[in-house]
Structures are given as structure tokens and as C-alpha cells.
Structure 1
Amino acid sequence: MAPWDDFDAIFSFNRNFVYDGKVIEQITSNRRVLENRLFADRLLALLGVKAVTKLYPPRSNSDLRTLVGHITSSSLDIHHKQALIYYILKDCRTAGDAAPHFARKCHLPEKYRLFIEGLWNLDRLEFRRAVEFLTEPSIIPTFPDEILYALTLSNLPKHDDSLVMAYYFTVSPPLATEKVQKAFFATLCRASITEAFYFTRKNDESLRRSYLEQLIVLVHKTTAGQIRSKRAMELTSLPLDEKEEQWFEEALLQGSAKALHGAKDTVMMRRLATGKLSGLSADLESLGGKKVDGLNWDVLKQSMPVRNT
């Protein structure tokens, strides 16, 4: 029997195999959509090969042989190599069951196969199918933050916030970078302002404050309408502690939400909701006589009990 890492044995269905032009076009297009890095690129980077985007997708039989040679001659353990070959064989649309046949022949562990199925589907922008594989309990999380971030990309045609949440609650990615933190928290905010708020409290003080400010900005950037009104009501009704109250007002009066429409109104609504109408700043006092939803601020203030704390 030919060794598993022999090119002609791997591609026994067609030793002169060449990637279909439409497959190459799809891979290249999807790479752009995924911010210029496929999960295949990440896998191939483990080989230590530079210029991965020139290596994959291969554009000729010679390029394919070079790619497979890089994989089989690498220092990766045997199952990682076989998993990469399995990924490549899944690209071969005309090869029938070449990929599963290879996995059976090599006795590729199921957790490796499932992981590759998940990444391959991610690279094809088939997110629901990808999450089905990537949340299997047997899989050891690899690239968890990168996978979560890809699922948060809301400009993609099959984006679904529920998949982001399903992956997060199953895998518990570390959220190790600011980019991933912001992307995931934006998804959480869209799902529930209240749940997003309680999530902020699971983090250290600086990140708590950053998240709260992001929450405030998201509410104020929501398109005017019923959803924005509901989010604004939730925001102004949150059970903020003393420190959070301070962050809340600073974000709206001096921070990143300062220039957003309705920022001062939100502070005043919060003050009204909590009865804390003493010690208003000049900016807030200037709202006197202004109408919100048909109600005059002065009338609202006069109708509310005043707390001094």
C-alpha cells in the first residue's frame, strides 16, 4: 500500500488534478470578506510557510503538489498534517468522497475531522453548518477568538447573532483582544441591553467602564424607532451603582457619546428616573423648557421628587 503522504496516492482519483476556476474565485472572494485571512491561511501558517496567500489556493497541478509537499514535509504531528490534507481534499468538488475516504484510510481522529469540517465551512461562509461542528464537545478549542470574531461580522450575507451567542456560551472564548471584545459585546448589546450590562460586571474595572461606554454609544446610534426607544428605556432603567452612575454621565457629557443625538436627554431621563435632580450642571439646566416626547423638561422636573443623594 502506498504511504498516506504520497501525492499520487492522495490524488489517486486524478493525479493531474487542478482546482476549478470557480473554486479559486470563491476562495479568493471569501478571503476578502473575512478581512483577508481564511482559517485555511491560519492552518497553513502553522507550517512556517511565508506568503500563504500565494500558496493557497493552488492554481495549477504543480502548485497543488508544492502545497501538499509543504504539508507532508512539515514538522507538525501526523494528525495535523492529515487534517490539512483532508481540508484540501474537501475543495475537490469533482473528487466524490475523496476526503472521507482519506480520513478513513488514515484513521483520522474524529475530533480532527470535525474541527476541519467547521473551519472549512467557515471559510465557505456557511456559518450555521460551521457552528454545528465547532461546538462539538470533543473538539479542543483552537482559534476560538478568531472564530467568534468571524461570526460577528455583520456585513456577511448569512450573519446571525444567535450563532455568535451559541458559540460563545458553548466554547467560552477568552476575548483576549480589544477587537474581539468590542465585536462580541456589540452582539450581546443587540440581544439585550440588560444582559449586556450584567456582562460588564464580570470584568475588571477598566474593561467594565469601556463596555458600559460602548453600550451607551450603541443605544444612541440605533436607528430612530421602536427598537431605539426600547433600548433607551432599558438603558436609563439599569441598576447602576455609584461608580457606574459616574461613568454613565461622564460618557454622555464628556466622553465618546457626548456628540451623539440625545446624549444630554439621556442623562436627564436617568436623573428623572432616579429622582436625582439636584446639582444639575449648566448643560443639563439649559434643557429647561425643552420638550421630549411632547413633555416639557421643566414640567417633568417639577413633578418628580428630588433626592439629594
Structure 2
Amino acid sequence: MTDIRTILRQATEALGDRLEAELLLAHALGVNRAWFFAHADDPAQASGMDRFEALVRRRALGEPIAYITGTRDFWSLTLEVTPATLIPRPETELLVELALERLPPGGRVVDLGTGSGAIALAIARERPDAVVVAVDASAEALAVARRNAQRLDLERVTFAHGDWLAPLVGESFDLIVSNPPYIEADDRHLHEGDLRFEPMTALASGADGLVDIRRIAATSLSQLVPGGWLLMEHGWNQGDAARGVLEHAGFMKTFTAQDLEQRDRVSGGCRAT
């Protein structure tokens, strides 16, 4: 009978990625990756291998690992993800870092377009004193975010269904954060890799990729307290444009922060005091 080590080697050759092979096998067997070190010589059981082979076939066709396993790690959290939600990415952790730096003690923060709840739940985990609200136009995505909040014991996060700030008219916040759609509608990358499987409404935003960034900037200033901040993630080549949008909407102290690969990633501005 074929052992675990051989199964992993064969899957690595098929996928071209050892980590992906390990993640899929761990998911099929219901174990963590550390288990392989102690059990590499164990015989592979037929039932588990049937499940594993089906997962490898799905990945070979391009389906994202996160959708196959139903989970994705972000910040210090393991989140449920589904095809109704964007897959959280490491570069978005910069948005969380910048938000935590600007959120005052006991502050109110809203995450617009929360998807799986990644940003809102990461902030709530780090700042139990904060009032955290998460909004999404997709009822399916909100259901995923609510399940994540419940499983992570972060049920104090409030969820609202609607388009950007529309369901929160009249409320004021110390901080508004968002990872909105920002890819140009005709960008060829939308038809490549993992993006092919993710919800288009969470990815593309008009001809220049800035339609939703403009909408958020235009409506956010009136719902920030004096000195409150708006922070938005955007594409690597949109820093100048994003700052221009913020300045046109009346924001002060605009800036752009770069991610670990030294690419423009998050821009923000504050309401005048």
C-alpha cells in the first residue's frame, strides 16, 4: 500500500506546489500539516485518498485552495470563506495595522464591504473596547461573516446589509475602513488564476477601477467625527489617484502606505477637526 510520503510527492508533482499538496491532504484526512512529520510512512487509507484525489483534481482545474478547503488564515484568525466572499489576502493586513493605529480607545469603526468579515473581526480581536460594525451588500457574504464572528467568539461585532454606508445613515464613526473593488473592468487578470472564481462584484469597479473608491469617499466625510479617518485598500498603481479622490472629497492629511513589497496599497485621509 502506498504511504503518505509517496502520496504527497505525487501530488506535489501534479500541482507543482508542496504546500498546496499538504493543505489538501490535511483537509482530506482531517489532520494538521504537522501530522505528516510523524506519519510519513503510514499507509494511505483508500477512503481518504479518494477524497484527496478529488480535491487535487479541483485544484488542477484552477479552483482556489481557500474555496476547496473552505478556510483562509488572516491576521491571527482562521476564517470560513466561500465563493460568495473575496479570499482575504496578506496585503490587506496593512489596512488592519493602519486602522489600529488610528482607532481611539472605545472608538467606533465600520468596515465597508466586509465579505468574510476579515478586517472587522481582526480589529475586534485586537481592540475589545471598540464598537465594530461590518457592512456588505451581499446577504450571502454577511452570513459567512456572521458565522465567523460566532465561531471566533466575536459576536459583539454588528452586521448591516446594504450598499456601503447606506444602512448607517445618521451614524458617526471615528474610523471607516474598506477593501472595495478596485480592478479595472477590462483587466485581463480577472480571467486568470484565483480571480476567475471570486465574486466579480468584489473585484471590478468600472473602467478605471475607482468607481467604488469615489462613492465611498464622497459619502464618508459626513459620517466621520472631526479628526476621524477613512482608509481604503487599492491597486499598486492607484495611490496617486486614490489620494486625488480623497482630496477632491474634502479629506485632509491624505497619504498612501506601501505593502511589504513596496507597492502602494492603502490610502487614507481625515476629516478636519
Q: If the TM-score is normalised by the length of the shorter chain, which range does it land in?
A: 0.3 to 0.5
Instruction: Tell which structure's C-alpha radius of gyration is larger.
Output: 1
The TM-score normalised by the length of structure 2 is: 0.36
User: Which structure has greater strand proportion?
Assistant: 2
Q: Which has the higher contact order (CA 8 A, sep 6+)?
A: 2
User: Which structure has greater helix proportion?
Assistant: 1
The TM-score normalised by the length of structure 1 is: 0.33
